[in-house]
Amino acid sequence: MTENRWSFPDLGLGVGLRTPHYAHILSERPDIGFFEVLTENYLDTGGRPLYMLDQIAENYRTVMHGVSMSIGSTDPIDFDYLAKVKALAARIGALWISDHICWTGVLGRNTHDLLPLPYTEESLKHSVERIKVVQDYLDRPLVLENPSTYLEFAESDMPEWEFVARMAEEADCGLLFDVNNVYVSAYNHGFDPVEYIDAIPGDRVCQYHLAGHTNKGTHIIDTHNDHVLDPVWELFGHTIQHVGLRATLLEWDADIPPFEIIHQEVLKAGDWRRQEVANVA
Amino acid sequence: MSPELERLQRWMQEVVVHPGTVEEAVASAGAEREIPADRLADIVLPSESMTPSERIGVYQGMYLIRMEEALETDYPVIRYHLGDVAFSHLIEAYVQRYPSRSYTLNRLGDHLPQFFLDRSDWPQAKLLHDLARLELAMTQVFDEEESPVLSAEELEAVPPDAWENARLRPIAAFRLLHFRHSVIPHLIAYHEDRPSPNPRRRASWVALYRRDYSVLRLELSRAEHDLLKALAGGTPLGEALAVAAQLQKSSSQRAKIFKWFRTWIAEGLFTSIEA
């Protein structure tokens, strides 16, 4: 087990903030360690979403999680976007800002998908340079999530875990370690997820993600629409042993159930956290 | 920056956003400009159970679904009116013409009214243009900045001799719309899950506004619309009311003007008055 190098706190168990749950959260005040806010949902609104977010941020710790930073894109960095991200983080007191190791579009377009990078020295250098620029602008470490991917590029000359680990070290950024994504990509590409986890520099991990997925037989899609599956829980346990305790978030973005069901699911992560800490002790 | 990475990303984007089959996407002119279709296996590895084509097809297959999900959130009335198949057809054509260029999907549908002006040959284009304007305005009102609402006390504080030249300023979350079709029955049909009405070409006027973070509407007569437009546009109260009064033939009709005015103030359409 390791300590996080920036001393980002272990916020315990968190849930992704979703619109259908606003009223429940504000009326019932569930015992949740933190909420993860989908960054882009709050950048251009002065209406109900921001009003709700302000109230929730007054009562809970928050972190921000974006999908449009496009850190691996060959398009120019969008500083107008970053300015809004920075302003929102200041407004709600977000403890950290995360996005994904991916690109979302080029030539000014946005596909709104988390598209995969080739794992090459060139794309590593390109991503590292951009992460440094973004961190400098945001004046804080950027936290980046390992993606779920559905294809591999022939030109890749290193495994994903080496790319992720080197990127984090060379850019001096944080990692949001998505355990479900490791499982999904391992299934899709036929690698050993434990080898991936063991290669991750634990002191750079600031947060964990857990989620459900959909197995199509030939491949798995990262759908975030169901309970976390047992093999992912097992990998989560192994990750705690390797990395340590970190803020742990359950994502549930489609077929969203009542808040209580999501809350019960994330409480299972608490059981795993206690169990793995006891094992180490 | 790596020119190879640039080319790879341009190629993958061309494939992902192509509306046809994955084979058509890989062989499209845009994709072939970057990487010839017969080189696919040199670019994407197969897995144990999927070919390179099937693997990139996972991304390509999800693109239009994602665009449609975003736009059905913003345009539920149009989707309800058209039905699922025709709506999917519309979205496929729309995102080819107006792809997302924003970090947020909330802006993806901003050009739908313009799309129907561009494509006047589209079935029911004129009605759909009106419905798109209505629904786009609803999303704008939803997201506008919150404004303080002009209170009764602030109104009462205006000296009697200042009313003539006083100007009202509307809240930010306010839109005044004029349609060529009767659009509100389509909105009601959607909310009540009743059959969408037959298109009716009849002028209609609507004010959209937000109160307590909910988007509300007032259906207006032409006279109400014209007066409200004048007031929201900054015309002095005396001038706007005089013009409105001239257009009302009887005293009872003229009395309605004050009823309208009271309603608009009570609904919170204005944020301030400059006397």
For residue B179, give both structure tokens.
């349609």
**Positions in chain A whose pLDDT score sits under 70:** none
From the list A40, A81, A150, which residue is nearest B58 (CB)? A150
Kindly determine whether residue B100 and residue A108, on different chains, have CB atoms separated by under 8 Å.
Answer: no
Domain-wise residue ranges, chain B: 1-72, 145-274
C-alpha pair distances (Å), B263 with each of A218, B141, B236, B250, B260: 61, 19, 19, 21, 5
Residue A5 lies inside a defined structural domain of this protein: no
Residue A2 lies inside a defined structural domain of this protein: no
Measured N-to-C along each axis, helices B3-17 and B52-74 cross at an angle, to the nearest 10 degrees, of 60
Contact (CB, 8 A) for A249 and A207: yes
For residue B126, give both structure tokens.
């004129």
- Model pLDDT, residue B3: 63
**For the domain bounded by B145-274, which CATH number is listed?**
3.90.930.50
SS3 A38: strand
Q: What is the pLDDT of residues A197-215, one digit of tens each?
A: 999 999 999 999 999 999 9
Collect contacts of A80-83 with beta carbons under 8 A, ≥24 apart: A81/A43, A81/B103, A82/A134, A82/A137, A82/A138
Q: Give which of A40, A74, A256 to mutate to test B binding, by max B Cβ within 10 Å.
A: A74
Helix (H) or strand (E) holding B45: none
From the list B59, B107, B214, which residue is nearest A150 (CB)? B59
Residue A212 lies inside a defined structural domain of this protein: yes
CATH code for position A232: 3.20.20.150
C-alpha pair distances (Å), A273 with each of A37, A81, A265, A276, B166: 23, 36, 13, 5, 65
Average pLDDT along chain B, 275 residues, taken 10 residues at a time: 85 98 98 96 96 98 97 98 98 98 97 97 97 98 96 92 96 98 97 92 96 97 96 96 86 87 96 94
Q: Which of B103, B77, B102, B101 is nearest to B90 (CA)?
A: B77
Domain span at residue A228 reads 13-280
pTM of the model: 0.94
- Do the strands B204-211 and B174-179 form a parallel or antiparallel pair, or are they unpaired? antiparallel
Residue A3 lies inside a defined structural domain of this protein: no
Q: Give which of B1, B4, B9 to mutate to test A binding, by max A Cβ within 10 Å.
A: B9
ipTM of this predicted structure:
0.95
Residues facing A62 on adjacent strands: A35
- Model pLDDT, residue B252: 82
Distance CA A157, CA B269 (A): 61
Give B96's DSSP letter.
H
Residues facing B207 on adjacent strands: B176, B218
- Model pLDDT, residue B200: 81
Contact (CB, 8 A) for B158 and B231: no
Inform me whether the C-beta atom of residue A189 falls under 8 Å from chain B C-beta atoms. yes
C-alpha pair distances (Å), B103 with each of A42, A102, A148: 12, 14, 20
C-alpha pair distances (Å), B262 with each of A44, A149, B153, B240: 32, 59, 14, 15
Residue A93 lies inside a defined structural domain of this protein: yes
Inform me whether the C-beta atom of residue A81 falls under 8 Å from chain B C-beta atoms. yes
Chain B residues whose beta carbon lies within 8 Å of the beta carbon of residue A76 = none
Phi and psi torsions of A143, nearest 5°:
-110, 120
- DSSP letter string over A57-101? HHHS-EEEE-S---TT-SSPP-HHHHHHHHHHHHHHT-S-EEEES
What is the tally of structural domains in chain A? 1
Distance CA B14, CA B32 (A): 9
